[in-house]
C-alpha cells in the first residue's frame, strides 16, 4: 500500500478527483496532515467519515513504528529507533539547546560510504529511505513538540546515510517540508551534510535551494582523507573543492566544513594549514568536533588543548572555526554514532 507521505500534492488531487471528491478536499487533507500535524485521517474530524475511511483504506499513514527511545542524562537529547514496514530500522534524534529544537534525520538505513570512524558506515548499507519515510521522521518529532506547546526550529540531514547518495528522495523530502501550503519549514533552517559526492554537489547547486550545505572533510591531504573516508578515492580533494567552489559561485552560500578531530591523526597544525590552502578565498566556516567513540574505530578524540591549537591555526590563516560541543554521547546519539543497536528503553 502506498504511504500518504510519499504523495505529491498533485497526486493527491488527482486521486481525490478519481474518487469524485470536490477540489477543496485535497487542500484540506494536506493541511490537516502537514500543517496541523494530524497523525491519521481519524483526527481530521472536519472530513466526512466515509472519506476518512477511504483514505485509510488506500494509503498508510505511519511508516515509522517507534521501537525504542533513549534520553541523554541532561534530558536535552532524545534518540528514537524507528522500525520500517519491511523490518529495517533507522534512528533519528531530537536535540534541545536553549530555544532551539533541532531534529537530526536519516536518509538511508545504514550507509554505503564506509567512513572508518562512523557507526553507520560500520554497519553497512541496507536501503534507501523513501521521501515519505524521511518526511515522517520530522513530522513525528513535530507532533511530539506540538503536544508540549513547543515547535521545531531546525532540521539537520545528518543522521544515518549519505543524503546525496539518495538524492531524489532526499530532495523530494526537503521540498515537501518547505512547501508553503504544508509544513512550511524555511529552507534556511535546514542543513544537509554530505561526505562529498562532487557531481551531486554540483547538481544541488544548480537546483538553487536555500538549504545550507555542510561537507564532511576531516582531512586536507588525499592520502589521509582516503584512509578515513574511502569515497575520497573516487572524488579526491581537487575534484571535491572544484565542486564546492562551483557551489559557492552559483549559490553565493557559505559552506560549512566538518572536521572530527582524532588525536594524532588529523589534528596537526600541518593539516590546518593544508585546509586553509585548499579553502583559500572560499567563504566558508569550519566546524570541528572531537571524535565521538564508535565500536569499530580505535581512534581517540583530540584533547581540548590540541583542539584549541587547531582552531587557532585555522583562524590565523583567516578561516573561521567553531568547536562544537559533543551532545548525546551517553546515549550514542552524537555525530557518527547512529547505528541500529540494542534498544535502551522499550516503547511506550
Which residues are catalytically annotated? Answer: 91, 335
336 binds ligand SF4 (CB under 6 A): yes
Nearer to ligand SAH, 3 or 193 (CB): 193
Binding of ligand SF4 at residue 164 (CB under 6 A)? no
Residue matched to cell numbers 540494542 = 342
Question: Does 158 participate in binding ligand SAH (rule CB under 6 A)?
Answer: yes
Q: How near is the Cβ of 113 to ligand SF4 at its closest, in Å?
A: 4
Question: Which of the stretches 36-44, 94-102, 114-122, 264-272 binds ligand SF4 when contact is defined by CB under 6 A?
Answer: 114-122
Using alpha carbons only, how large is the chain's radius of gyration in Å? 21
Residue identified by cell 583567516 is: 318
The alpha carbon of 330 is separated from its chain's Cα centroid by a whole number of angstroms, namely 20
Long-range contacts of 118-122 (CB under 8 A, 24+ apart): 118/294, 118/336, 119/294, 119/295, 119/296, 119/332, 119/336, 119/337, 119/338, 119/339, 120/160, 120/161, 120/336, 120/338, 120/339, 121/336, 122/294, 122/295, 122/296, 122/297, 122/339
Q: Print the binding letters for residues 30-69 with ligand SAH: x by CB under 6 A, - otherwise.
A: ----------------------------------------
**x/- track of binding to ligand SAH for residues 214-253 (CB under 6 A):** --x-------------------------------------
Asked if 288 touches ligand SAH (CB under 6 A), the answer is no
| 108 counts as binding ligand SAH under rule CB under 6 A | no
Q: Is 120 in the site for ligand SF4 (CB under 6 A)?
A: yes
CB 325 within 8 A of CB 310: no
By the 8 A CB rule, do 187 and 174 touch?
yes
Please tell me whether the peptide bond between 348 and the residue prior to it is cis, using omega within 30 degrees of 0: yes
Asked if 258 interacts with ligand SF4 (CB under 6 A), we say no
Q: How far is the CB of 158 from ligand SAH (least distance, A)?
A: 4
Q: Which residues form the interface with ligand SF4 (CB under 6 A)? A: 111, 113-115, 118, 120-121, 161-162, 195, 216, 336
Amino acid at each position: 500500500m502506498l504511504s500518504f507521505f510519499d504523495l505529491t500534492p498533485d497526486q493527491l488531487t488527482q486521486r481525490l478527483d478519481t474518487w469524485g471528491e470536490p477540489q477543496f478536499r485535497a487542500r484540506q487533507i494536506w493541511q490537516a496532515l502537514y500543517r496541523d500535524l494530524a497523525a491519521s485521517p481519524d483526527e481530521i474530524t472536519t472530513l466526512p467519515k466515509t472519506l476518512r475511511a477511504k483514505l485509510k483504506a488506500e494509503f498508510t499513514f505511519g511508516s515509522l513504528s517507534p521501537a525504542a527511545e533513549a534520553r541523554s542524562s541532561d534530558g536535552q537529547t532524545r534518540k528514537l529507533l524507528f522500525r520500517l514496514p519491511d523490518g529495517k530500522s533507522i534512528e533519528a534524534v531530537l536535540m534541545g539547546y536553549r530555544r532551539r529544537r533541532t531534529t537530526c534525520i536519516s536518509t538511508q538505513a545504514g550507509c554505503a560510504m564506509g567512513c572508518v570512524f562512523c557507526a553507520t558506515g560500520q554497519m553497512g548499507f541496507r536501503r534507501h529511505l523513501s521521501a515519505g519515510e524521511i518526511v515522517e521522521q520530522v513530522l513525528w518529532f513535530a507532533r511530539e513538540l506540538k503536544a508540549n506547546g513547543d515547535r521545531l526550529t531546525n532540521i539537520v540531514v545528518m543522521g544515518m546515510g549519505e543524503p546525496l547518495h539518495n538524492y531524489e528522495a532526499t530532495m523530494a523530502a526537503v521540498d515537501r517540508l518547505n512547501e508553503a501550503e504544508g509544513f512550511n519549514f524555511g529552507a534556511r533552517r535546514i542543513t544537509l551534510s554530505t561526505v562529498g559526492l562532487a557531481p551531486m554537489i554540483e547538481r544541488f547547486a544548480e537546483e538553487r535551494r536555500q538549504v545550507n550545505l555542510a561537507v564532511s572533510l576531516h582531512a586536507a591531504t588525499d592520502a589521509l582523507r582516503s584512509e578515513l573516508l574511502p569515497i575520497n578515492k573516487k572524488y579526491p580533494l581537487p575534484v571535491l573543492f572544484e565542486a564546492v567552489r562551483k557551489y559557492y559561485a552559483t549559490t553565493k552560500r557559505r559552506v560549512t566544513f566538518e572536521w572530527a578531530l582524532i588525536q594524532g591523526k588529523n589534528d596537526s597544525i600541518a593539516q590546518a594549514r593544508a585546509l586553509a590552502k585548499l579553502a583559500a578565498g572560499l567563504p566558508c566556516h569550519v566546524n570541528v568536533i572531537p571524535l565521538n567513540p564508535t565500536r569499530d574505530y580505535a581512534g581517540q578524540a583530540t584533547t581540548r588543548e590540541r583542539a584549541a591549537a587547531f582552531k587557532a591555526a585555522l583562524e590565523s590563516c583567516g578561516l573561521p572555526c567553531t568547536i562544537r560541543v559533543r551532545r548525546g554521547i551517553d546515549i550514542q546519539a552524537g555525530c557518527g554514532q547512529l547505528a541500529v543497536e540494542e534498544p535502551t528503553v522499550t516503547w511506550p
